[in-house]
Amino acid sequence: MSSFIVVGHKVCTDRGFSLNDLTGSTGRLDVLLRCVNSTFMLSNDIRRDLDLYLIFLGEPDPPRTLHFVGNELKYLNPDERSTAALVKNALMKNAVHDWTMSTPGIYVSRRGFADVLAELAGRRIIYLKEDGASISDVNLSQNDVFVLGGKNDLTPDEEKIIQEWPDKQKISLGPRSLHADHCITITMNALDR
Ligand SMILES: C[S@@+](CC[C@H](N)C(=O)[O-])C[C@H]1O[C@@H](n2cnc3c(N)ncnc32)[C@H](O)[C@@H]1O
């Protein structure tokens, strides 16, 4: 099963965010919501053979990670607002280090980037970055873990964790800087092929 990890450096951990303002005061939660859509949504179907970790590092109480598990997901619709409501439910849980189910297929934890990677030990990390090797030159595996920034690039500290990972590859989807959700769509298409 392929996994995606998207880091939202400023995405708020405040359960009280407004569903009417997903782009502003949430620290660009909308970017992560579109990543959910790109990861799971097919035309009239949902991809079941994937999972997605969204890492929330914004105020007031970071970190929080939401884990979306494709083969368990229920109540996921294509619109951002209803996915935002599922996120709000997850942030309302009294999160601890262990995963707590919020709604079917969505789990929440106080884990951060390093903790999430640690639980994926033994798998290859594919770090999506503009200056990596061309995706057309790399054989992707269905067991890879794809890591990318949300609105912003990974920090040097986060990159260092990847650099120290035993099995990793930096891969470019092209020379232009793309939106995170578009990166997921292109990567999924490469995996499908
Ligand atoms: C919106 S971009 C981040 C900001 C962007 N680097 C900039 O300065 O405009 C989100 C993330 O998508 C990934 N990404 C963007 N373009 C890419 C590309 N051409 N190839 C591979 N990954 C890319 C990177 O992980 C990046 O951190």
Mean pLDDT of all residues belonging to the chain:
97
Instruction: Kindly state the tokens that stand for 94.
Output: 């009294």
**Domains, the chain:** 1-193 (3.40.1280.10)
pLDDT class of 138 with cuts at 50, 70, 90:
very high
Tell me, what's the pLDDT at 2?
96
> What is the CA(156)–ligand 1 centre distance, in A?
15
pLDDT tens digit sequence for 69-86: 999 999 999 999 999 999
Burial of 129 (0-12, 13-18, 19+ CB in 10 A): buried
Residue from 148, 170, 181, 185 whose mutation best tests the ligand 1 pocket (most atoms within 8 A of CB): 148
4 vs 116: CA distance, rounded Å = 11
Phi and psi, residue 2, nearest 5°: -75, 150
pLDDT tens digit sequence for 23-64: 999 999 999 999 999 999 999 999 999 999 999 999 999 999
For residue 179, the ligand 1 atom closest to its alpha carbon is 1
User: Which residues, 6 or more positions from 123, have their beta carbon under 8 angstroms from its beta carbon?
Assistant: 3, 143, 144, 145, 167
The residue contributing the CA closest to ligand 1 atom 7 is: 177
For residue 178, the ligand 1 atom closest to its alpha carbon is 16
How much is the pTM?
A: 0.97
Say yes or no: CB of residue 93 within 6 Å of ligand 1. no
pLDDT class of 94 with cuts at 50, 70, 90:
confident
